[in-house]
């Protein structure tokens, strides 16, 4: 069994893929047994051939080709095929910095009750790096935590800090495969690359998976590829479908307690605000109505509604109150 499985979903990224795969190979030290599972999701530009060529030269790489099924399908194929004790994801236009995988795996190995390690990450463009994102308030690194004695070191769950409210960034972390299997963490297989990673992140946190959030920055996240899903401004109601998937998963794993429900709706609302700006203008009101119905559980319970609002910062708390009263025009204005 390998120590680490690196899942790389690939679709029409010929210009970026060689650098991505080279960076992964360089980031895996000899002290880690690793496999790199490349999922060619029906690429039409020869990306699959690039991955296959790398696999012929480096036995740690293997390629699984499938008809195009979208980002969720590609990740699920990788999760099903992964043989490692731990799993991480690298998107095929991004880059990995050497030197951190060994430390993150050591941190996970030290505590069998730890389900994943979440890290900061470095957005970048061809012009250079942008400010580091998702840095924990205490700025502790994995090495800092490793230096603490076991009786002092405590892992966290979703109510322990603000990690759940950061961008999903599912690739900026390493996950214990057994924990993902235990909570049945899979992505919805909706078409394209419509923010299915939101589901993965929300399910990991809200199922109570334990984690450390560290300041290490090994993941270089490209933000200037025009074809990336984050730039698409023609969405419809995918966010409702995605959080329906999260809710179904939580129900299958025991349902929502009071605390989980509060965070579920708070995270849902914050993602809804962000997603609304990526929805085609003529569909924003329809999404508003669909989402309003999806929040029925919060509307029926004044205590829950108040607790959700209390978790939201500043203007978002005001918007949530307006949303409840059905007059949040700013959410869906074109």
| Per-residue pLDDT at 334 | 47
DSSP summary character for residue 158: G
Rounded Cα distance between 118 and 136, Å, is: 10
CB atoms within 10 A of CB 269: 24
| Per-residue pLDDT at 333 | 57
Phi and psi at residue 64, in whole multiples of 5°? -115, 120
Rounded Cα distance between 186 and 188, Å, is: 7
In the chain, where does DSSP find H-type helix? 17-27, 47-57, 71-81, 101-110, 142-146, 177-182, 197-206, 238-252, 258-276, 284-294, 296-300, 302-311, 314-324, 329-332
**pLDDT tens, position by position, 127-147:** 999 999 999 999 999 999 999
| Per-residue pLDDT at 329 | 59
Q: Is the pLDDT of residue 206 over 60?
A: yes
Rounded Cα distance between 169 and 134, Å, is: 9
pLDDT range class, residue 229, cuts 50, 70, 90: very low
Higher pLDDT, 149 or 180: 180
Kindly report each contact of residues 127-135 with a partner whose C-beta sits within 8 Å and lies 24 or more positions away, as own/partner: 127/224, 129/220, 130/223, 132/217, 133/166, 133/167, 133/169, 133/221, 134/163, 134/166, 134/167, 134/169, 134/172, 135/215
In 157-301, where does DSSP find H-type helix? 177-182, 197-206, 238-252, 258-276, 284-294, 296-300
Mean pLDDT, the chain, integer: 92
Q: Is the pLDDT of residue 35 over 70?
A: yes
SS3 of residue 65 by DSSP:
strand
* Second CATH level (architecture) for the domain 4-231: Alpha-Beta Complex (3.90)
Residue 71 contacts residue 189 (beta carbons within 8 Å): no
Tell me whether residue 41 is exposed, middle or buried, using C-beta atoms within 10 angstroms of its C-beta: 0 to 12, 13 to 18, 19 or more.
buried
Q: Map out the domains of the chain as residue ranges.
A: 4-231, 238-332
Helical axes 197-206 vs 258-276, angle rounded to 10°: 160
In the chain, % of residues over pLDDT 90: 78
| Per-residue pLDDT at 330 | 60
**pLDDT tens, position by position, 308-327:** 999 999 899 999 998 998 76
């Amino acid at each position: 069994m390998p120590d680490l499985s690196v899942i790389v979903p690939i679709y029409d990224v010929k210009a970026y893929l060689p650098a991505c795969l080279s960076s992964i190979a360089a980031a895996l030290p000899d002290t880690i047994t690793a496999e790199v599972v490349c999922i060619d999701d029906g690429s039409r530009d020869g990306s699959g051939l690039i991955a296959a060529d790398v696999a012929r030269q480096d036995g740690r790489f293997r390629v699984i080709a499938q008809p195009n099924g979208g980002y969720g399908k590609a990740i699920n194929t990788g999760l099903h095929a992964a043989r490692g004790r731990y799993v991480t994801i690298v998107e095929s236009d991004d880059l990995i910095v050497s030197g951190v995988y060994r430390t993150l795996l050591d941190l996970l190995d030290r505590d069998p009750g730890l389900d994943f390690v979440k890290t900061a990450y470095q957005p970048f463009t061809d012009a250079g790096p942008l400010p580091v994102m998702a840095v924990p308030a205490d700025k502790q690194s994995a090495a800092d935590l490793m230096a603490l004695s076991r009786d002092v070191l405590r892992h966290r769950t979703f109510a322990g800090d603000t990690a759940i409210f950061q961008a999903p960034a599912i690739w900026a972390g390493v996950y214990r495969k057994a924990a993902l299997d235990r909570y049945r963490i899979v992505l919805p297989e909706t078409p394209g690359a419509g923010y299915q990673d939101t589901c993965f992140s929300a399910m990991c946190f809200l199922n109570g998976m334990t984690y450390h959030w560290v300041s290490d920055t090994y993941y270089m996240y490209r933000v200037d590829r025009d074809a990336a899903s984050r730039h698409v401004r023609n969405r419809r109601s995918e966010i409702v479908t995605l959080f329906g998937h999260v809710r179904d998963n939580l129900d299958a794993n025991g349902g929502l307690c009071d605390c989980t429900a509060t965070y579920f709706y708070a995270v849902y609302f914050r993602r809804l605000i962000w997603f609304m700006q990526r929805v085609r203008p003529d569909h924003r009101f329809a999404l508003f109505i669909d989402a309003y119905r999806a929040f029925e559980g919060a509307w029926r319970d004044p205590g829950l509604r108040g607790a959700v609002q209390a978790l939201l910062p500043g203007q978002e708390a005001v918007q949530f109150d307006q949303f409840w009263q059905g007059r949040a025009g700013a959410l869906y204005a074109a």
